[in-house]
Amino acid sequence: MDKAKVEKLIKNSLQKLQQIGWENKNCNKNQESRLIFPKYRDRNNKDGKKQEDNKRISEQEARFLFVIELENAKDTHSFYYSVETPTEFGYRFSENGKKINPKKDTGGQSGKIDICIYDTDCNRKHLVEFKAHNSDIHDFSKDFIKLKYEPKKNELEYEPNYFVHILKSYDGGTISSLEKKYSEAFKIAVDKDNNANITVDKDNNAKKANEVRVFLCILELKEKYKGKETIIYFDEKDYIEKLGKLL
């Protein structure tokens, strides 16, 4: 499966994610999938009034819908995939109980990749990570370092990996925050010697870092942003431009 097909399937799955209903609230009889968002238990706001919006949004819904797209792809056996795929490298995300800038570490723990897509010879080709909400920079960087560093066979090393990001909604503050977090995430996942384009394989041979492409999906647009794109696509070269167009 080539990258154009992977990107089409990601976009298809996100479009279906935007259609799905909500437990006890808004079942969409026209949605293609049977999947819906569950809800949290009833809670009160700080003013004592019942919280109306208790929809539970996570990356799991997006991941399941993408797997359905993979299973329904017509070019059967032109690719394979796995879920919760162990990383080839070890990583360290904390020391002495405190978060640190994520880094490769031979003594670190193996991480997991949400979904790995393989070629017909079962070699890793595209890695896909899913993230929901405006998480902190540490959570972004943990995914980005795996996406940029994980080794592939030589002929596949230029195939991009993907970060699929789900937001319920946004405002100007959200976009400003995302610009900073993506800037740090793209920069933090680099070689320890600060050479952004060089990583190494398991045999310590220098290789170019994997390209990371981002799909950002907005589930609900606030009134002032009606008409803006709800699924955008960017990389480290144009993320500021693409995020800015949402305002």
Summarised one tens digit per residue, pLDDT across range 54-90 is 788 999 999 999 999 999 997 767 899 999 999 998 8
Higher pLDDT, 101 or 238: 238
- Least-confidence region, from 165-169, 187-191, 219-223: 187-191
| pTM, two decimal places | 0.90
Q: Cα 126 from chain centroid?
A: 12
**pLDDT at 38 > cutoff 70:** yes
Two structure tokens written together for 167: 């937001």
CB atoms inside a 10 Å sphere around CB 21: 18
Query: 56-61: which pairs have CB atoms within 8 A and are 24 or more residues apart?
Result: 57/132, 57/133, 57/166, 57/168, 57/219, 58/132, 59/114, 59/130, 59/131, 59/132, 59/164, 59/166, 60/130, 61/17, 61/20, 61/35, 61/37, 61/166
Q: What is the end-to-end Cα distance of the chain in Å, rounded?
A: 35
Please, what is the angle between helix 172-188 and helix 137-149, to 10°?
Answer: 40
Two structure tokens written together for 22: 């909500």
Question: Span 84-106, mean pLDDT?
Answer: 86
- HSE of 211 in the Cβ direction (CA atoms, 13 Å)? 12
Domain locations along the chain: 3-39+48-244
According to the model, what pLDDT value does residue 52 have? Answer: 62
